Chains A and B, each alone.
Chain A
Amino acid sequence: MGKLFIRVIRRDLLLAYRRRADVLTTLFFFVIVVSLFPLGVGPEMKTLRLIAPGVVWVAALLASMLSLQRLFAADYQDGTLEQMLLAPHPLGVIVLGKIVAHWMVSGLPLALMAPLLGLQFDLPPEALGILFIALLLGTPILSLIGAVGAALTLGLRGGGVLLSLLVLPLYIPALIFGAGAVEAYIAGVSPEGHLSLLAALLIFSGLATPWITALALRIAME
């Protein structure tokens, strides 16, 4: 079981490496969206510091929308998904492997990039660290919940727009706790509460969503 899990991750990472342009596109999208905000809001550093966590988080949500569409699409088109459904293993494990690999090439780069972008907003160093930790805990939640939406909208026309419509409302708790952690720190409150809630959310969605996604995939393939 564990072996299969590792093999799925390695396979998807290999595929992502062969298609690395896609990964970079998502990352650049994230960078551009974050960089646009100061131009729209104005260069007042006090305001920028205030909005920075929210801006970074909303940009991360939008970037995850871009990459989620690809989570199952290729496997669906070339018939690999059928083989996964017919594999003599629990589908949830395969799905979780795919989600983890997806996070490593979409969420993790955003988390690594975020402290750098935070400098544009004049965040203090500790706040940058908290932003990084919050994203590290929060972006897997985006991949996990997003996977359900990606499976539900698999192969539908206009699936990308529909996916955002379904998934973005479900991201709200992650957004609140994630951005809130940094805001709390800046406001002089301990961000521990936010981060623990984010971790709880991660555990909860990590346990539930792979199985829901597996069910949704079976329904989509009928």
Chain B
Amino acid sequence: MALNIFKYSSPASFYPLAGKMVPVFYGLAAVFTIVGLYISFFVAPTDATQGEAYRIIFIHVPAAWMSMFIYIVMAIWAGLGLVLNTRLSSMMAQALAPTGAMFTFVALITGAFWGKPTWGTWWEWDARMTSELILLFLYIGYMSLTAAIDDVRRADKAGAILAMVGGINVPIIYFSVKWWNTLHQGASVSLTSSPSMAKTMLLGMLIMAIAAWMYSIAVALSRVRLLMLEREKSSAWVQEILEQKS
């Protein structure tokens, strides 16, 4: 096992392995999405307090989970890259960032779509929405910083520092916004606090979250393959792949 990890942590052997994994994860993502959507629309009952509008949570909540999970995973990969100086982990971090930003954006937009019929406004300055917005800023900052640095080694390391500093800050920001919010007015309804939440609702949310996981893995893997090709373009294994293709 240890030998395997060692072997696959080199881009040359990880590239073809990732290539085989990508379609599998796309397929799984499609299957889980179909099942999840079926449960969301045809199994889960109407919510007693929120009516049909609650069906937005089947994408909102998984997207919000993903936005946070991906940030944590990204910060861990980036940190590993900084400490252990492994090329692949830094590339994984950079491959995850755009997908994380996408889910953060989706969580914000769907939150607004849920807020309008429920709160009566598109936006509320509650702790979750605000932290989600700041998370989007952090993702954009990370991507801009790594894109602005030409030297890849510096880009990896500087990105890692930013990702980790941001990671420490997210909970601080969350709690400070929460505290600030309770002092001002206090958000009334929360998306998931409905007491009448049926088991099927939870099941739908979980299955959609699994679908989002599968999708993220597939996209991140195919993006990390591009990064590998780009960065190692003069190495023997990339040349070999290019020969085969043409």
Contacts and interface: CB of A to CB of B under 8 A. Distances in A.
Chain A complexes with chain B: yes
Contacts of A153: 145, 148
Nearest to B147: A162
Interface residues of B, number: 26
B119 interface: no
Contacts of A219: 154, 157-158, 161
Interface string A191-222: 00000010001000000000010011001101
Nearest to A173: B176
A3 interface: no
A169 interface: yes
Given A162-B145, A162-B148, A184-B183, A173 B172 contact: yes
B149 interface: yes
Nearest to B137: A169
A212 B141 CA distance: 17
B166 interface: yes
Interface of A is mostly: helix
A interface residue count range (under 10 / 10 to 19 / 20 to 34 / 35 or more) = 20 to 34
B138 A156 contact: no
5 contacts: A152-B162, A159-B148, A166-B144, A169-B173, A220-B158
Interface of B: 134, 137-138, 140-141, 144-145, 148-149, 151, 153-154, 157-158, 161-162, 165-166, 169, 172-173, 176-177, 179-180, 183
Interface of A: 148, 152-153, 156-159, 162, 165-166, 168-170, 172-173, 176-177, 180, 184, 189, 197, 201, 212, 215-216, 219-220, 222
